[in-house]
Structure 1
Amino acid sequence: MNKKIILIIGGPGSGKTTLIDELTRQGYICYPEISREVTKQAQEKGITNLFLTEPLLFSQLLLEGRVKQHINAIKENTDIVFIDRGIPDVLAYMHYKGDSYPESFDLACKNHVYHQIFLLPPWETIYESDEQRYENFEEAQEIHKHLVETYRKYGYDLIEVPRDTVDNRVKFILERV
């Protein structure tokens, strides 16, 4: 089996979760974004925004979760696994905030490699805020720039997914896998 671990990345509100949900509906193995769960758990403990109050702890929790997703994806009994965001996302967000991080973050990016990266561009028409997404659209655009820079730093070619219907975006991805 020639397994492909494929990421769908992009700034907040670019449609990643919607695509992952559709791919799941079509029978593909997909791993969801874990930052919402980390944020929700912190909120349940009374921490309104862990990323802003303790960015290194938040990022460490994300890093651990994404490494675990990568390891689990390798073990899946299927040719393709889609993941909503990857390990380099953690570093991109740290760059966005201007925060430093331990060398272990960089090593995690080098030691856990993905096969293809599909990038969703910022799309104001579909952007929505909610309880776990605190960024406004302008901040989402800035995060997008950091994602592109970070993934390119690790040698990834990014395949930009056009703004289109969910069905057409999924078709675009599946034609290139």
Structure 2
Amino acid sequence: MNDRLILLTGCSGGGKSTLLDALADRGFATMPEPGRRIVADELAGDGKALPWVDMNAFALRAIEVAKADLERAKRLDGPVFFDRGLIDAAVALEHSGGPTASETLGQTPPYAKRVFIVPPWQELFVGDDERRHDFDAAVQEHLRITRTLEKLGYTLHVLPKVSVTERAELVLTKLDQWSNSFSTI
């Protein structure tokens, strides 16, 4: 486990990528969502690993990308924020009939034990060429992810439905509080 590796996850279309951009603008290292990168590559290529074509193939690719992101992040200094990641990919693989997320992830938690969750926020949700599922499917995915995080022993901090600036401030305040609590243990 690495307390510097901070996962932002939750509902698709809930503002994770926008929040990640705001954190990057403040000088923090970030890792963009594996799924969006895979979909863009697949749309430009043969399209065999698109989530709406073959969810299992998509999830396996997402696991590979997320693992590579984790390895890159370990070489960086300071906190690194992830827009989704290995846990999300493991949940997708389990949902597509693969092994459980626990089996895919193994014993070592890949991220800090405290995770930021964006809740379902229908007013923000927008479908596009890379996000073809509807809001109800996004909510179901959100529920699978949060249940899995809880089973894995992660502490979830649900972000309020406020502006991206307020969310970024809240994330950094919480991160500072958590860092102080680690140093007093």
TM-score (norm 1): 0.89
Q: CA deviation at 1:168?
A: 0.5
Closer, same or farther: CA 157–112 of 1 in aligned 2, 3 Å: closer
Aligned residue for 2:88?
A: 89
* Matching of residues 36-75 of structure 1 within 5 Å: 36-47=36-47, 50-75=50-75
Aligned residue for 2:120?
A: 122
Closer, same or farther: CA 109–12 of 1 in aligned 2, 3 Å: farther
Q: Is 1:113 aligned to residue 110 of structure 2?
A: yes
Provide the rounded CA distance (Å) in 2 between the counterparts of 1:121 and 1:16.
10
Provide the rounded CA distance (Å) in 2 between the counterparts of 1:13 and 1:109.
28
Which whole-Å deviations, capped at 9, do the CAs of 1:78-107 have from their partners, x for residues lacking one? 221111112110132244xx4221479724
| Contact 2:11 2:138 (8 Å CA) reproduced | yes
Closer, same or farther: CA 37–169 of 1 in aligned 2, 3 Å: same
Aligned residue for 1:133?
A: 131
Question: What is the number of equivalent residue pairs in this alignment?
Answer: 173
Closer, same or farther: CA 109–19 of 1 in aligned 2, 3 Å: farther
Aligned residue for 1:11?
A: 11
| Contact 1:12 1:135 (8 Å CA) reproduced | no
The residue matched to 1:19 in structure 2 has which SS? helix
Gaps of 5+ in 1: none
| Contact 2:8 2:117 (8 Å CA) reproduced | yes
Higher mean C-alpha deviation, range 167-176 or range 99-108: 99-108
Closer, same or farther: CA 130–49 of 1 in aligned 2, 3 Å: farther
TM-score (norm 2): 0.85
Aligned residue for 1:28?
A: 28
* Matching of residues 139-158 of structure 1 within 5 Å: 139-158=137-156
Identity percentage over the alignment? 26
Provide the rounded CA distance (Å) in 2 between the counterparts of 1:110 and 1:137.
33
Cα RMSD, aligned residues only = 2.0
Provide the rounded CA distance (Å) in 2 between the counterparts of 1:105 and 1:54.
22
Gaps of 5+ in 2: 176-185
